[in-house]
Amino acid sequence: MMAWQPKTPITSVYQLLDANICSLCGACVAACYWEAVYFNPKEPSRISREPKLCVDCSRCLIVCPQAMLWVKKELYEQDVKPLDAYQARSKVEKVLSVAQDGGTVSTLAMVALDKGLVDAVVLAGAGERWSPTPVIAFTADDVLKCAKSKYFYIPSLVELGRMDGIKKIMVVGLPCQIRAIERLSELDVGIARKVAYKVGLFCGHNLDYASVVEKLLPKVGVSVEDLAKMNIKAKVIFQDKSGKSYELPLSEFESLARPACLQCPEFVSRYADINVGSIGAPDGWNSVLVMSKSGEELFNKAVAEGLLETKKPSSEDLDRIYKMDKRKRSNASKYFKEFYGVDVGIQFLDRDTWRVISR
């Protein structure tokens, strides 16, 4: 594998897009006033661009969670350290009727909205033919429409550019998306001050929409129109609308991963207030890692309201999560060196580019 050799200086995310160092988090779209980068729902597997509109302000590059990843050496080396850990599932029937597993994320979002803790929730939705659809949820019904996991990129952070009049928000996202919010906080960008809660989702990696629809589904003979649910639990599982399940080896999914995901060390987000996933939990439950005091307060409020059932995980259950996290960090560190030709933490960009993205 030949190491990536960026042209210098880099002033926008265009080179990153060309090299597939993009997880479609949507942060660059939200940051660009001039629509030189944008999300076109008709081309859901990529961020589109309009070079003629680019003014080389570098806002897109500065907020990109991939561009600054190489200086985050601690993410590749340090174990995850939650304040507390639980297994949880919703006690709300309408949540459980549509939930992927335990419905914990939907319940937390609904509690935050109902109690006025936030005005809106940024979520990943799916439209016709499961098309990636960024969503701003204002009601419980909006939240329920976004239930179930989607194992393809959805640039939900594009909605951060549409927050006029909204004072407090919750962001539900993958580690790369939560990392982008942290980057905005580091830069003290106004929208970051509106983020009251960050809920992270466990993530091995995702694929682009076309890879799922055009490469994986045909292998099991299911059309995207007939797809009812997808899941990953040591294998890829698709379920059609009749309830029939189809399986593929996990290697089929992993072989289609982009460099953006392969260089990412975060199975569990270090910057989230709460992390939620299915690994380490019984069927129908979620694993929950509480990462901050604000996350703890939100989780406890949902429990106190009688909306979440909880129990403590065993050490074996937690080990499953931590082993997945360690494995991703190790693999990402190796891939990083292969892809860039240097170890994590070693500056490999030219001085001009470093001056741009570190401001």
Helix axes 293-304, 104-114, angle to 10 degrees: 90
**Strand 227-232 with 235-240, pairing:** antiparallel
pLDDT-derived band at 312, boundaries 50, 70, 90: very high
Q: How far apart (Å, rounded) are the C-alpha atoms in residues 342 and 13? A: 21
Number of residues written out for the chain: 359
Q: Which residues pair with 201 in a beta bridge?
A: 276
Per-residue burial over 95-129, b if 16 or more Cβ lie within 10 Å, else e, is bbeebbbbbbbbbbbbbbbeeebbbbbbbbbbeee
- Range 249-255 average pLDDT: 95
- Range 277-299 average pLDDT: 97
- Range 163-175 average pLDDT: 94
Query: Which domains are present in the chain?
Result: 78-204+252-330 (3.40.640), 209-251 (3.10.450)
The whole-chain average pLDDT of the chain stands at 94
pLDDT for 1 beyond 80: no
pLDDT tens track for 122-138: 999 999 999 999 999 99
pLDDT for 2 beyond 70: no
pLDDT for 18 beyond 70: yes
pLDDT tens track for 176-216: 999 999 999 988 888 889 999 999 999 999 999 999 999 99
Question: Please, are residues 300 and 97 in contact by the beta-carbon 8 Å criterion?
Answer: no
pLDDT-derived band at 161, boundaries 50, 70, 90: confident
| φ/ψ of residue 328, rounded to 5 | -65, -40
What burial class does residue 166 get, using C-beta atoms within 10 Å of its C-beta: 0-12 exposed, 13-18 middle, 19+ buried? middle
Q: Which residues pair with 288 in a beta bridge?
A: 86, 276
